[in-house]
Amino acid sequence: AKERGKNNYQFYSSDLNGLSTRKMELENGLRRAIEQDEMMIYYQPQVDLSTGELVGVEALLRWKHPQYGMISPLEFIPLAEETGLIVPLGKWVMRTACMQNKIWQDSGFPAIPVAVNISVRQMEDEYFVDSVTEVLQETGLDPQYLELEITESIVQNIEKSTLILRLLRLIGVKLSIDDFGTGYSSLSILKHLPIDKIKIDKSFVDDIIYHSNQGAMVKTIIDMGLNLNFKVIAEGIEKKEQVNFLIDNACQIGQGYYYSPPLSVEFMEAYLAQGVSG
């Protein structure tokens, strides 16, 4: 635990044994979780805001731990990053999501891209681009139906990142900047990156209804994104008022509990089937 302040430190130190035991058990468990089938992927629909039509899904990792039950990726992804296990785990997510998407396309559902979250640590791995190629070959998914969600933190190593993004573009996958607006990247840097889409972070989408600036930032981000010819998607939409605001300001795509929570494969298939029939 970091020593962020006296109170925090005392809190952590009094609970240090409990915390480190759980952390150690999760770290050890991570190594076996994939083989033991404890990891699974949920899929959250992304929709066209004007028509409600399904235009994509985001793959979100879930860990059903034998002792602790469902664990949030917010807790175990950082552990996987620290230990380097994010590299094999991330590849598993990419492979599983591509395989699932291919199965859905082959069974007659409309072809849509699956978006997969990529950690910086994963992109820094020298075999990352190879692993993307390998997964696409293995699964037979057309590259245009895989979208990689990367964060603004890639700008910290802009030259290397740009090179990797160019290679990924050549392969034919789509690239999206996740949690947009929460990092420190400037517009002048972003406009040179070979990306397709920006994803406006939930915190800004919340501002539309919960804060006094009433969506001023969202409006700015949408305008900027569209001017640079990026697609713009808003995440974390929970209310009709947010949908209306986003449509009024020309945002095309959205994702959030208002439309659907992340769904298990079974429930996602029911969602897909509904779209086909009606």
Asked if 154 interacts with ligand C2E (CB under 6 A), we say no
CB of 75 to Ca ion, least distance (A): 14
Among 63, 101, 148, 178, binds ligand C2E (CB under 6 A): 178
Partner from ligand C2E, Ca ion, none contacting 181, C-beta within 5 to 8 A by type? none
- Interacting stretch for ligand C2E, rule CB under 6 A, among 15-23, 185-193, 239-247, 256-264? 256-264
Q: Residue 250 in 3-state DSSP?
A: coil
Q: How far apart are CA 227 and CA 191, in angstroms?
A: 10
Question: Any contact of residue 125 with ligand C2E (CB under 6 A)?
Answer: no
Rounded Cα distance, 40 and 63, in Å = 6
Name which of 12 and 183 has its Cβ closer to Ca ion: 183
- Close Cβ partners of 23 (under 8 Å, ≥ 6 residues apart): 79
Alpha-carbon distance 246 to 208, whole Å? 9
Q: Where are the alpha helices (DSSP H) in 144-262?
A: 158-171, 187-190, 202-210, 216-227, 240-248
Would strands 174-180 and 197-200 be described as parallel, antiparallel, or unpaired? parallel
Least separation in angstroms between residue 233's CB and Ca ion is: 10
Under DSSP, the state recorded for 72 is -
Per-residue contact track with Ca ion, 162 to 201, x per CB under 5 A? ----------------xx---------------------x
Q: Nearer Cβ to ligand C2E, position 46 or 252?
A: 46
Which residue, 48 or 188, has its beta carbon nearer to ligand C2E? Answer: 48
- Residue 100 CB contacts under 8 Å (≥ 6 apart), including other chains: 41, 43, 114, 265
- The DSSP output letter for 263 is B
Per-residue contact track with ligand C2E, 205 to 234, x per CB under 6 A? ------------------------------
Q: Which residues contact 55 (CB under 8 A, 6 or more apart)?
A: 46, 47, 48, 112, 253
User: Binding pattern to ligand C2E, positions 33-72, x when CB under 6 A?
Assistant: -----------x---------------xx----------x
The one of Ca ion, ligand C2E, none whose footprint includes residue 61, by CB under 5 to 8 A per kind, is: ligand C2E
Alpha carbon distance 135, 212 (integer Å): 46
Residue 209 near residue 242 (C-beta atoms within 8 A): yes
Site size for ligand C2E (CB under 6 A): 20
Binding status of residue 117 toward Ca ion by CB under 5 A: yes
**Contact status: 93 vs ligand C2E (CB under 6 A):** yes
CB 62 within 8 A of CB 70: yes
Q: Tell me phi and psi for residue 223, to 5 degrees.
A: -55, -45
Residues binding Ca ion (CB under 5 A) = 117, 149, 178-179, 201
Residues binding ligand C2E (CB under 6 A) = 44, 60-61, 72-74, 77, 90, 93, 117, 119, 178-179, 235-238, 256-257, 262
